[in-house]
Amino acid sequence: MSASDDIHFASNGGAIFRDPYMEWATRQEIPIHLDFGHDLLALETAPWARYDARGCFAHTHGRGDFCANFVLEIEPARKTKPVKHLHEAFFFALSGYGSTTVWLTDGTKNTFEWGPKALFAIPLNCEYQIFNTSGHERARLSCTNDLPLALNHYHNEEFIFANDFKFPERSGPENRFQGEGEHSTYDRKKNGGQINIWETNFVQDLTAFKLYELNTRGKGSRNVFFQLADGTMHSHTSEIPVGRYKKAHRHAAGTHVHAVSGSGYSLLWYEGDDRFVELPWRHGIMYTPPFWMFHQHFNTSDAPARYLACSIGSARYPFISLRRVSNEGGGSTSVKQGGRQIEYEDQDPRIHRKFLRELKANGTDSLMGDIFDEEAIMQIPEASLTGPIRTPELKGPAI
């Protein structure tokens, strides 16, 4: 646990800077992992009485004030006990097979089956139970949630976990637990581009879900926004084509980025830095770029790479001003025009040079010769670069 997650007490024993969420998390008596990012498939878990399963907290230095993450692990042929809570929760299936039962406010019971790389949301304050339907394999799920927002605001655990208030509008039609949904579009006011939104409660397989062109972040990029359980939390899935990578951008803290498919890496840096944080890209890796830290995603595999991002502020309910600006296209506008994106022609030449070297090592060809003079970039003397790109072991500075 880092200093940023400590609870500070006065000499008389009373807390002077209270963090109700962290106080609650500490009392759960499961591991609290804190780092720049995590391999969620490898984190140590322990018995968690709240779910009657195993779990751990996967906290990150960049999680911000609103969202956090925990890992839930269910033993073969076991199930969690039923729980409910007055906070939003998005579950991403890391491994295993199972089912989830949700009891809606009208007493209706909905059960759906899921496997690896499924995504589902629990409607606000609905009771639910998660089952591992395999008799020999553990099931592990990543849960991004806004419990820090809810618990730190009300600082009353009974209000959050034992509240009988009902939100019938959050459930949506019954078929949204079976993967059905409603497609809509939104034309951004800035920098063009159209957002495609899919409203549902359950996505069976993020690797197979239909995506739509969104070239403002890079040629060939595809994307879809999810509006899950009429929530205030946001999620989207994007795909990086073979031989290409995304443009760098920055935003608010708390966006939990999960690598879903493909392989490669991400680079992160603050404006003015001459060195970069590098994180590996493979299924199971999750990290959150700290506030205003540039980050850029690179696909070095021979197949498209997809990722899932979950954060505060949805397409329907932006919640914070930076999310509203992003929804309107500000996040895909050049920093030279007051936006938050670095165009390819403005990026550090080391970035593309490194990408070409990584592709060569993997036997994959670059498809970005239409943008860069790649032969000239590879001829730049090593001494002319401002410094090597460092590769920490999923570590970085806390803010």
CATH number at residue 339: 2.60.120.10
Domain, as residue range, for 62 = 17-176
CA torsion, points 295, 301, 306, 307, in degrees to nearest 10? -40
The domain boundary residue, chosen from 298, 320, 344 = 344
Burial 178-192 (b: 16+ CB within 10 A, else e): bbebeeeebebebbe
pLDDT, residue 15, reads 60
194 bridge partner residues: 187
**Residues 320, 192: one domain?**
yes
Q: What is the pLDDT along the chain (399 residues), one digit of tens a residue?
A: 333 455 544 445 566 789 999 999 999 999 999 999 999 999 999 999 999 999 999 999 999 999 999 999 999 999 999 999 999 999 999 999 999 999 999 999 999 999 999 999 999 999 999 999 999 999 999 999 999 999 999 999 999 999 999 999 999 998 999 999 999 999 987 776 789 999 999 999 999 999 999 988 899 999 999 999 999 999 999 999 999 999 999 999 999 999 999 999 999 999 988 888 899 999 999 999 999 999 999 999 999 999 999 999 999 999 999 999 888 888 889 999 999 999 999 998 889 999 999 999 999 999 999 999 999 998 876 633 334 444 444 444 433
Contacts 24+ apart (CB under 8 A), 352-357: 352/377, 353/377, 353/378, 353/380, 353/385, 354/389, 355/245, 355/298, 355/300
Question: Distance between CA atoms of 55 and 69, rounded to whole angstroms?
Answer: 11
Question: Distance between CA atoms of 390 and 350, rounded to whole angstroms?
Answer: 12
Tell whether 201 is covered by a domain.
Answer: yes
pLDDT, residue 6, reads 52
277 in Cβ contact with 268 (< 8 Å) = yes
**Residues 218, 170: one domain?**
no
Phi then psi dihedrals of residue 170, to 5 deg: -80, -20
244 in Cβ contact with 299 (< 8 Å) = yes
**Residues 185, 165: one domain?**
no
pLDDT, residue 253, reads 95
What is the DSSP-derived secondary structure letter of residue 125? T
What is the DSSP-derived secondary structure letter of residue 79? B
294 in Cβ contact with 331 (< 8 Å) = no
Tell whether 287 is covered by a domain.
Answer: yes
Tell whether 380 is covered by a domain.
Answer: no
DSSP 304-353: -EEEEEEEE--SS---SHHHHHHHTTGGGSBGGGTSSEE-GGGS-HHHHH
**Residues 248, 126: one domain?**
no
β 194-200/222-228 pair status: parallel
198 in Cβ contact with 182 (< 8 Å) = yes
What is the DSSP-derived secondary structure letter of residue 217? G
Structure tokens that stand for 58 in this block: 């996967």
**Residues 97, 229: one domain?**
no
**Residues 203, 276: one domain?**
yes
Tell whether 349 is covered by a domain.
Answer: no
pLDDT, residue 396, reads 42
Please report how many Cα atoms fall inside a 13 Å half-sphere around the Cα of residue 266, on the Cβ side: 31
The domain boundary residue, chosen from 324, 344, 364 = 344
Structure tokens that stand for 62 in this block: 């960049």
Residue type (1 letter), 399: I
**Residues 21, 160: one domain?**
yes
**Residues 152, 184: one domain?**
no
**Residues 153, 190: one domain?**
no
pLDDT, residue 383, reads 39
**Residues 248, 169: one domain?**
no
Which residues are CB-neighbours of 235 under 8 A, at least 6 positions away?
90, 119, 144, 225, 226, 228, 308, 309, 310, 311, 314
Work out how many domains the chain is built from and give that number: 2
3-state secondary structure (DSSP) of residue 334: strand
Could you tell me what percentage of the chain is helix, strand and coil, using 3-state DSSP and rounding each to the nearest 5?
20, 35, 45
> How far is the CA of 1 from the CAs of 7, 155, 319, in angstroms?
10, 21, 29
